[in-house]
Amino acid sequence: MLDVKNLNSFYGRSKAIQDLSIKVLDGAVFAVLGRNGVGKTTLLRTILGLTDKCEGSIKLNGTEITDKPTFERARAGVAYVPQGRMIIPDFSIKDNILMGGFASSKGRRIPDLVAELFPYLMENLERPGGVLSGGQQQQLAIARALASDPKLLLMDEPTEGIQPNIVEQIEECITRLNRELKLTIVLVEQNVDFARKAASHFAMIENGTCKVDGKIEALTAKIVSQYMTI
């Protein structure tokens, strides 16, 4: 599905991703782990073509996308749920969702799945996004990503800063998107317990590169303590 090889990525002249390689199989939930500031968000942004400069290879289903503009990557089926959610507070819930449809071949519409997963959003479509709680805004960011009919979903710390009782709902939603919708998911996550539960594979990032990767069963307590404890 996604094959990243020898990737370097830059903010101006500073290199935030260094010689990073990962392979995400079709249908996987691939957890990207590591301490603050190691380059997890930058990796997702680079896959989307949102950094200043990148070198190396990014293949989506065998097609090189490294030089493609972001909208073409989105049309090819890559969607993004950014860290911090980035919804537009003054836009209605409906317009926030429909914005995600810009890259969909089916046009701007609210997918049936969104109605099923997030009934609260559907009942409040005309309200501004800004009135929602953190957890509801996260649901909105996921709904917006689903509006582009993605095949590959890049999710950046979807449970960060969210009330514990809502965290479980978000986690269940991620699992359903993978199991029922067969979405391949790259999940940046600080919660190792959830990563163990939800993910099939992992990559541990440090200094902008992948230090250890493999099946989730291979994520030992030793690796976690070496690369994640402060």
Ligand X SMILES: Nc1ncnc2c1ncn2[C@@H]1O[C@H](COP(=O)(O)OP(=O)(O)OP(=O)(O)O)[C@@H](O)[C@H]1O
Residue numbers of the site for ligand X (CB under 6 A)? 11, 16, 34, 36-42, 83
Q: Which does 9 bind (CB under 5 to 8 A by kind): Mg ion, ligand X, none?
A: none
42 binds, among ligand X, Mg ion, none (CB under 5 to 8 A by kind): ligand X
38 binds, among ligand X, Mg ion, none (CB under 5 to 8 A by kind): ligand X
Q: How far is the CB of 49 from ligand X (least distance, A)?
A: 15
Of the two residues 39 and 111, which places its CB atom closer to ligand X in the complex?
39
Please name the residues in contact with 183: beta carbons below 8 A apart, sequence gap of 6 or more.
150, 151, 152, 153, 177
Task: Report, in Å, the least distance between residue 32 CB and ligand X.
Answer: 8
CA dist list (Å): 66 to 5, 12, 60, 103, 212: 11, 18, 9, 18, 24
The item of Mg ion, ligand X, none sharing an interface with residue 37, based on CB under 5 to 8 Å by kind, is ligand X
Q: Of 95 and 160, which CB lies nearer to ligand X in the complex structure? A: 160
* Comparison of 34 and 129: residue with beta carbon closer to ligand X: 34
Q: Which is nearer to Mg ion, 46 or 104 (CB)?
A: 46
**SS3 of 164, please?**
helix
* Helices of type H across the chain: 40-47, 70-75, 93-99, 112-117, 119-123, 134-146, 164-179, 192-198, 221-228
Distance of closest approach, residue 45 Cβ to Mg ion, in angstroms = 9
Both tokens of 22, joined, read 């990962």
- Nearest 5°: phi and psi at 103? -100, 5
